[in-house]
Structure 1
């Protein structure tokens, strides 16, 4: 079966630099995604320094701990993450590449195109139709939380 791929687009009412800063701040996800309904419970950066290509992190999710790394970073337009999940024996179960591509809009807002790619392995490939629905829901919830995080900030100002 082919990988699961799709795109979601949102317009965020904030300048591109602010949106990019929020997406690249790995531990900042704990604030804006908290209580949003995603699988993410907590995330933490596991390598030192400012986020760059090769920066590592661990997501604590409702499905367990999932390691990952930044694979592409072109400020303030692109960030792509890569994460993977393995069985206890070390066999790959899934790999994912969530990426964000940002473009400034005329009104000072930012268009965020979120490209998601998920590859299931082994017996998990049989669940591709279900995984597609789950992945789309998860990524849509993430994009909605990102958008809402700026709306909350504007309402508080």
Structure 2
């Protein structure tokens, strides 16, 4: 098994509840996530609203459809997604756990810690360095889009 793990942190100028709500709203990702610089094309929640522990979704990406679920849900401080890529026979090629830990830094400022863990299995292990590069690029695009979705400030 190959493992990729890293963390990014960004200040978002919005209340912690608003930041958590935006991250938990899977169907809303198309409104604030850019297409340029991202492999994600569309996200769709596949279980009933509202988002909660166990909520399922599918991301359409340049590499195909990727199912996932909310693995941890602790409003307003922690949200962990779990996605996987399996063969038609059910063998897992790769899976990831994009996690967000939010810290209120005042009424209108939130520090977003974005921890990423990705595992590659079988022949996909050889592609772990490529997965690492793609994950850093994708996750950086995500947190910067989240930050920008609440507006820019000159003190970032």
Range of TM-score over shorter length? over 0.9
What is the CA deviation profile of residues 36-92 of structure 1, one whole-angstrom value per residue up to 9, with x for unaligned ones?
A: 421110011101121111110000111100000001000000100000001233221
Answer with 122-131 or 66-75: which moved more.
122-131
Q: For the structure 1 residues 96 and 104, does the alpha-carbon distance in structure 2 shift closer, same or farther, using more than 3 Å as the test?
A: same
Q: How does 1:8-157 map to 2 (within 5 A)?
A: 8-106=8-106, 108-151=108-151
Matched-pair contact (CA < 8 Å) for 1:11–1:112: yes
Give 1:31 deviation, angstroms: 0.6
**Gaps (5+ residues) in structure 1?**
none
Give 1:35 deviation, angstroms: 2.7
Answer with 143-152 or 59-68: which moved more.
143-152
Q: Any runs of at least 4 consecutive aligned residues in structure 1 with deviations exceeding 3 A, and if so which?
A: none
Higher helix proportion (structure 1 or 2): 1
What TM-score comes out, normalization by structure 1 length? 0.92
User: Across the two proteins, how many residue pairs are aligned to each other?
Assistant: 153
What TM-score comes out, normalization by structure 2 length? 0.93
Matched-pair contact (CA < 8 Å) for 1:36–1:145: no
